[in-house]
Structure 1
């Protein structure tokens, strides 16, 4: 898949130009924002707006609003619904015209740099500094090179390994114990491939693994577990660290340990029914899936079976210098409009601070949504939900991990990810060999002129 050289380098610049055309250029809000220490007078009523998407199917927004309003009865938050699929496009248009809501989510880090340069976001460094050094939350991924923050996390999903305890038991294969490497994972998959049919599972439709089609399922694990900081790989133009991860992924599909990429992509296979209807014994996926699985087991969309969480397998070729299992995941953050002033700004800051902290996190944990703040009391709330995995390894897996960004923040992020997305499909369809495909990607990215020198 040849990259069109005239197109890709303009992607980030074009979005930024649209944003800046309506906001005046420059970085951040460009104005001094009131300190988060300036609290809203409890006797003053304030009304602010907040962006959200798919409100009927995404309860987190109303959950946060309801929880905050209960504790702050003089503040009213009105949710403005956006399209889930076109959220960034619609938000870009609103920022360009200066009509963005007072508070709006930043879906992933891939667009964060562009938004941060739009002059449409308030500087939230005053709030962020209150969370720096707090062991229960990591705000560092929103810190720009100039030391400023323009968003704070309210969700912090990390990728873990979901596994079907019943399938392991019936097959007589040892469950994950929290120490697996990718080699251990492969060995367990090969054992399950042999033993699941003997345990009564259909060999033609049930697989040891489900490996979803997203590029992150290969690339982000490799980047996080390479032994280097993600930025040091991502912006340098050498993507050889991906080779061993792609060779393993191809081995899994060639040995029919998982549905092959072509079939999954062509048939638009969804990960929820693959695991939920016991078509796969293991599945790497973000912690957001726990809420889906709990709900689907209640309403009958998923089978009833015992499941658990384990840390994602680790790189067998690189010693983990972290005291925690290394995984990946972009936070989901909240930003505030630079147009918001006075009591509305103070109310918006109070809301974002609450969402990032223990109050908002308990509210989200109560609906099985992984929050940003991982205190013991938040963890207790999450695992008390009926239908949630209850074992000790699951709890530790959810709470303890070293999470590296899927999208390191920089001006080149969007461009690089678009090139690597094409590379991913060319490798997984086996239309190109791993080495040449990665070399071509590096060459194409270098031609954009966006890499660190």
Structure 2
């Protein structure tokens, strides 16, 4: 295992005497200077790159300090909703499930950010890069710091054991379709039953890859049902793969609470379809000695795609300011810094794709990716569609996650699923504010 240089060693040493960081609902207590810095309360979830961003900001800003509340990722959305509804002491927070912004905006929890950005004297590059997912009713309500894109992450050793080419081979030949993905997944498990061809995680939105690439909205922003046929197509593929052990069972993942990173770390999964944040998790996995293989034995390439022109899916991850915060200017300075060049450099050093990378991002990201063509696929210009980004999105994702379980367990036919999902969507449209 090769040694890796981490950008923030010096910063962490400087901060270690003033910091409390524990697992679970942890808190990073910001140090105070003699001048009495403005201390903002900031909520996010447990991720190494998030902690690094906070630590770096605190180490380089004496007039503002971030007192971060770190919640477990698994139930972050639920806890955040409860905290916001109770108007807890939150000046700013990171949005994990982006469609939640619509409900937060309607309930008056989000501060419009247009005037703060205007006061900087220039457009925010991260917002401009993801304008369609940063604005509600003409108001900018979030500033992205991490870009949004899904990829195929693959284990080279698994493909070698199975005796078949890695996915980038098919990408280069224009053959990396969903049909080929299914074929390759089955071939891996057929070669060795101890190997799992592929895995897609339990989140409801993970069932909308093909729909998003096709431009389907599931439910349009004005409350009309769009085509659900690509949702059904992907769900049928998942069942076929699960039935032969070529895809990790969604039900087993839910019951055992097995995280996708653990699946991939253990070295028996051929392909993982997940977002742009995963290289950062691989860096942490190597650092913590969790990988059952060498760091160079994995790769990144495109998401399978049936469209004539390649398009991925995904939304950026960004930060919001609460409407009731009494420290909005300080909160804005922090989240604006995170989206800018300094924040992007920290994110890139963890292998994370910044929303506005800048010229230095490629070199920084390359240090934390395996050698070869992974960097080319990670940073290539690409279209990005996203299904289910609407005021109905959170409920659609939640309801779909439940209904798909019944289908995967064999408790309903395709026609029964289509009928039930359509009825559910109509109910959501009628009862959403």
Q: Per the shorter chain, which TM-score range? A: 0.7 to 0.9
Let me know the Cα RMSD of the aligned residues: 3.0
Match of 1:143 in 2: 135
Task: Compute the displacement of 1:269 (Å).
Answer: 3.5
**DSSP-derived class of the 1:154 partner:** strand
Tell whether the 8 Å contact from 1:153 to 1:333 is kept in structure 2 after alignment: yes
Instruction: Map Cα deviations across residues 195-237 of structure 1 (whole Å, 9 max, x no partner).
Output: x44xxxxx2x2122223333333x2202212244565499432
Alignment of 1:339-378 (within 5 A): 339-341=324-326, 344-378=327-361
CA–CA distance in 2 between the matches of 1:370 and 1:249?
Answer: 28
Match of 1:327 in 2: 312
Instruction: Map Cα deviations across residues 283-330 of structure 1 (whole Å, 9 max, x no partner).
Output: 212232222223223433221241100111002xx433xxxx322223
CA–CA distance in 1 between the matches of 2:75 and 2:126?
Answer: 34
Task: Compute the displacement of 1:151 (Å).
Answer: 1.4
CA–CA distance in 2 between the matches of 1:405 and 1:444?
Answer: 20
CA–CA distance in 2 between the matches of 1:260 and 1:303?
Answer: 21
Match of 1:222 in 2: 210
Match of 2:382 in 1: 401
Match of 1:7 in 2: none
Instruction: Map Cα deviations across residues 5-63 of structure 1 (whole Å, 9 max, x no partner).
Output: xxxxxxxxxxxxxxxxxxxxxxxxxxxxxxxxxxxxxxx97513132345xx5333432
CA–CA distance in 2 between the matches of 1:297 and 1:134?
Answer: 29
Tell whether the 8 Å contact from 2:158 to 2:268 is kept in structure 1 after alignment: no
CA–CA distance in 1 between the matches of 2:424 and 2:217?
Answer: 22
**DSSP-derived class of the 1:436 partner:** helix
Task: Compute the displacement of 1:449 (Å).
Answer: 4.2
Match of 2:180 in 1: 184
> Does residue 1:450 correspond to 2:430, yes or no?
yes
Alignment of 1:31-42 (within 5 A): none
Tell whether the 8 Å contact from 2:126 to 2:145 is kept in structure 1 after alignment: no
CA–CA distance in 1 between the matches of 2:313 and 2:407?
Answer: 21
Instruction: Map Cα deviations across residues 392-420 of structure 1 (whole Å, 9 max, x no partner).
Output: 2444334543333354131x223322322
Task: Compute the displacement of 1:175 (Å).
Answer: 1.9
Aligned pair partner of 1:302 in 274, 291, 294: 291
Q: 1:380 to 1:245 in 2, by over 3 A?
A: same
> Does residue 1:425 correspond to 2:416, yes or no?
no
CA–CA distance in 1 between the matches of 2:199 and 2:273?
Answer: 8
Match of 1:65 in 2: 54
> Does residue 1:107 correspond to 2:87, yes or no?
no
> Does residue 1:123 correspond to 2:112, yes or no?
yes
Task: Compute the displacement of 1:149 (Å).
Answer: 1.3
What are the ranges of 5 or more consecutive residues in structure 2 without an aligned counterpart?
Answer: 1-34
| TM-score, reference length from structure 2 | 0.79
Q: 1:49 to 1:330 in 2, by over 3 A?
A: same
**DSSP-derived class of the 1:210 partner:** strand
Match of 2:271 in 1: 282
Q: 1:397 to 1:82 in 2, by over 3 A?
A: closer
CA–CA distance in 1 between the matches of 2:126 and 2:42?
Answer: 28
What are the ranges of 5 or more consecutive residues in structure 1 without an aligned counterpart?
Answer: 1-43, 198-202
Q: How many residues align structurally?
A: 387
